[in-house]
Amino acid sequence: MKKRVFFFNLVVSFLFLVSVAWAGLPDFTELAEKAGKAVVNIGTVKVIKGPNLRGFFHNFPRGGTPFDDFFDQFEKFFGRQLEKPRKQRSLGSGFIISPDGYIVTNNHVVEGADQIKVTFHSKNGEKTYNAKIVGTDPETDLALLKINAHNLPTLEFGDSDKLKVGQWVVAIGNPFGLDHTVTAGIVSAKGRVIGEGPYDNFIQTDASINPGNSGGPLLNLDGKVIGINTAIIASGQGIGFAIPSNLAKRVIEQLKKNKKVRRGWLGVTIQDVDENTAKALGLEKAKGALVASVTPGDPADKAGVKPGDVIIAVNGRPVEDSSDLTRKIGNLLPGTKITISVWRKGKIKELKVILGERDLRKLARTSSKVQEFTFGELGISVRPITPKEAKALGLNSVKGLLITAVEDNSLADRSDIRPGDVILEANGHEVDSVHELEKIYLKDAKPKKVLMLLLRRNGQNLFRTISLEDIK
């Protein structure tokens, strides 16, 4: 009898737990039906020109070889066919943001396309429209399309800043050509930087995202778009990435108004602040963006920003790292007046900056050769730089020490110091000679247990910090 009661109670408890768990799951049916009306399939056609095989075949010597007949026959039967232009087709997703036919998708879905078709699916069947590109932004992988239609169902952007890790989200798209596939999951993480571009700030989700989902919406349970599905990790399952809606809104507004995106520009090269660098600079926390170099004549230079400054805030909003600063400045329009807070020699300094306009200019890359004086504890050999080397590296004057060798597995090697780097500063002091570097090392770096070097590498300035904790 006791056993029966025990098993009965066990079954009841199990059923109760199942019912509670089941009751806690959201119902996506209404959301999928309503939002799905504004999600479209995007098909593109790109004409690929074939290679010029005639020149290729004529490069082979003819006459008296056993391959003459082979080349003649191959060119005759296959050459002309391979030279013909061919059509490359691809599929993606998108969603309507206005009743008059504006559609958001990814730039990589439509990039280079000669023809774009947008297909709607409804109870009454399919309807296809030709679409035109209004504008694209490769740096955020967004594109705005327009079709000639009216009274279309739409989706509304939500506030991605309010999104929390663990919240339910729904993805709708065209994975593998399977139109209007609905998948659900949670927000796995926010602020992911995956190396896709300078404005990486992705939402990570385990809602199933596959090839063909690109450009489709990631929705919250209110049916609002909080992300645009963009990237996947080919080797991983349950890992997808979406562009936050707040970033997308700003880009789409500019594309709709100006057909291009304009972004603010400071004119600095920056890097993250690690623990050792924070210690060397007297910062309480390893946060902010460390200025490695300032472009002469650009907004930061005019405002008085200097290499070695750490930008810790923009208009009073804290800067977490270099990526955060890039996004904050990029979200502002050229000509905007801002205040940046910099940490300089133990004090906070407020600087007024009028932003310029971002352009993707290329920095010259150079290299240099090897030789001379050795700092055994650090594992580096150095010598004064020559005027010719200074000119090649783009230096304004003949200052600094050329690192001619780095010992394997030394402190310098483990801190990413490389032969060919030029030491411009050590712990905030300019370095013009081996004697000066030795003096800074003994009287400043060793007592602080940290040496921070401003280096010139491949045409750019950057900082590297060496921990001296293990040196007695």
How many other C-beta atoms are found inside a 10 Å radius of the C-beta of residue 23?
7
Q: Is 429 a catalytic residue?
A: no
Following CA atoms 437, 440, 445, 451 in sequence, which dihedral angle do they give, to the nearest 10 degrees? -40
Alpha carbons 225 and 192: distance in angstroms, whole number: 18
DSSP-H helix ranges across 224-321: 245-258, 275-281, 299-303
Q: 75 with 189: CB under 8 angstroms?
A: no
94 exposed, middle or buried (CB, 10 Å; 0-12, 13-18, 19+)? Answer: buried
Residues 6+ apart with CB under 8 A from 271: 289, 290, 292, 322, 462, 463
Q: Is 141 a catalytic residue?
A: yes
User: DSSP labels for 99-111?
Assistant: TT-EEEE-HHHHT
Say whether 231 counts as a known binding-site residue.
yes
Say whether 380 counts as a known binding-site residue.
no
Say whether 234 counts as a known binding-site residue.
yes
Say whether 214 counts as a known binding-site residue.
yes
Say whether 212 counts as a known binding-site residue.
yes
- Look at residues 288, 254, 244, 261 and name the one whose alpha carbon lies nearest to residue 358: 261
- Angle value at C-alpha 100, between 95 and 105, nearest 5 degrees: 25
Q: Which of 90, 93, 137, 141 is catalytic?
A: 141
Strands 337-344 and 310-314: antiparallel
- Look at residues 217, 227, 143 and name the one whose alpha carbon lies nearest to residue 189: 227
Q: Is 359 a catalytic residue?
A: no
Say whether 141 counts as a known binding-site residue.
yes
Q: Which of 90, 108, 309, 341 is catalytic?
A: 108
Q: Which of 93, 160, 214, 341 is catalytic?
A: 214
Output the known binding site.
108, 141, 212-214, 230-234
Q: Which residues are catalytic?
A: 108, 141, 214
Output the known binding site for substrate.
108, 141, 212-214, 230-234
